[in-house]
Amino acid sequence: MLFSSILTVVFASLARTTLAQDQFGNIVYDAIHNATAITGTWSSGSKAVRTGQGFANPANMTFNYPKTTGISYSFTDDGFYEISRYRFNSNGSEPTCITGVIAWSHGKYTLNANGSISMSPFEDGFQQVQDPCAAISNFIEPFTTPEYYKGWRIFMDASQGPKLHMFQFDGTPLAPMFQVSVTPNMLPTQLLRNTDEPVIQRRSSAQGTSGSQWKAGVVAGAGLALISSTISML
Ligand SMILES: *[C@@H]1O[C@H](CO)[C@@H](O)[C@H](O)[C@H]1NC(C)=O
Ligand SMILES: *[C@@H]1O[C@H](CO)[C@@H](O)[C@H](O)[C@H]1NC(C)=O
Ligand SMILES: *[C@@H]1O[C@H](CO)[C@@H](O)[C@H](O)[C@H]1NC(C)=O
Ligand SMILES: *[C@@H]1O[C@H](CO)[C@@H](O)[C@H](O)[C@H]1NC(C)=O
């Protein structure tokens, strides 16, 4: 935890640099800003979380849980992105209530002239939230929140190669990601589920498909707020 606090301070100062660039001048794509292009697949930490085949099944809204938590982003050179995230969030006032969130989304992104990134998801993104202390402790819901990142940079790490830093709308850094593939590994860049159908949410106690334990409804993805307002334990 101490190590991660130090890292947070380091990245926070990076965030300020990027923020200034975001606010006071247009982006200059050079070796200092991005040692390589952002296209490809990026993954944090132990790199167990990856976009593409094997993480999410959008057609039936299920996940294959990776061994460890992390985040992964992919970008194509023609404006498509995909995100896989698996994390635990702790709640300072309820330390025993560790919430697990696993999420997948994809859509179109824009690298803005001021150094920010805008992402518009397709309607088939979804996430599963496991919160042992909540009334409904395990549910799946759509996740279609547009995302805005204040800045990004790619450094060349001496041992691990290109390293992507991204800063959220409020300047909070994401866990740094390493390039795991120069060509993006992604599911098809189109809608992968009929989103006109009502979404089925599974309640915690549901072991099977017994009618009373299933609830139909659509809940707008509030996951981004949840993720960014709690302490990341990556
Ligand atoms: C940067 O550009 C994006 C897209 O044009 C815009 O939405 C955002 O407000 C801009 N940020 C700043 C700090 O001006
Ligand atoms: C930096 O990023 C831009 C936009 O993706 C790309 O066009 C450029 O080639 C990148 N720079 C290098 C050194 O790869
Ligand atoms: C969901 O789809 C995946 C991929 O087709 C399949 O392997 C899995 O068994 C399905 N799960 C359920 C619960 O239907
Ligand atoms: C933390 O737990 C308290 C008490 O259960 C709750 O009111 C609060 O909304 C939680 N905070 C977050 C960020 O989940």
pLDDT tens digits, 166-183: 999 999 999 999 999 999
* Residue of the CA atom closest to atom 13 of ligand 2: 36
pTM of this structure: 0.79
Please state the rounded mean pLDDT for residues 183-200: 89
Q: What is the pLDDT of residue 25?
A: 52
pLDDT at 77 over 60: yes
Whether the CB of 182 sits within 6 Å of ligand 2: no
Whether the CB of 60 sits within 6 Å of ligand 3: yes
Q: What is the pLDDT of residue 92?
A: 83
pLDDT tens digits, 120-131: 999 999 999 999
As a whole-number percent, the residues of the chain with pLDDT over 70 amount to 74
Q: Are 91 and 99 in contact (CB under 8 A)?
A: yes
The alpha carbon of 66 and the centre of ligand 3 are apart by a number of angstroms equal to 16
3-state helix, strand, coil in the chain (%, to 5): 15, 40, 45
The residues pairing with 102 across neighbouring beta strands, listed in sequence order, are 86, 128
pLDDT at 10 over 90: no
The alpha carbon of 217 and the centre of ligand 3 are apart by a number of angstroms equal to 21
Q: Is the dihedral of CA 234, 227, 48, 43 positive or negative?
A: negative
Nearest atom in ligand 2 to 36's CA: 14
The alpha carbon of 35 and the centre of ligand 2 are apart by a number of angstroms equal to 8
Q: What is the pLDDT of residue 96?
A: 87
Whether the CB of 37 sits within 6 Å of ligand 2: yes
Nearest ligand, CA 110: 1
Within 10 A of 134 (CB to CB), how many other CB atoms are there? Answer: 13
Of residues 5 and 96, the one with the higher pLDDT is 96
207: tokens are 């072991």
Distance, CA of 68 to CA of 143 (rounded, Å): 22
The alpha carbon of 33 and the centre of ligand 2 are apart by a number of angstroms equal to 9
Place of tokens 């830093």: 165
Please state the rounded mean pLDDT for residues 147-154: 94
Of residues 115 and 5, the one with the higher pLDDT is 115
161: tokens are 């190669």
Nearest atom in ligand 3 to 59's CA: 2
Nearest ligand, CA 208: 3
Whether the CB of 20 sits within 6 Å of ligand 2: no
Sequence-ordered alpha helix ranges (H) in 75-230: 223-229
Nearest atom in ligand 4 to 133's CA: 5
Whether the CB of 28 sits within 6 Å of ligand 2: no
pLDDT at 42 over 80: yes
Burial category of 181 from C-beta neighbours within 10 Å (exposed 0-12, middle 13-18, buried 19 and up): middle
Q: Are 104 and 56 in contact (CB under 8 A)?
A: yes
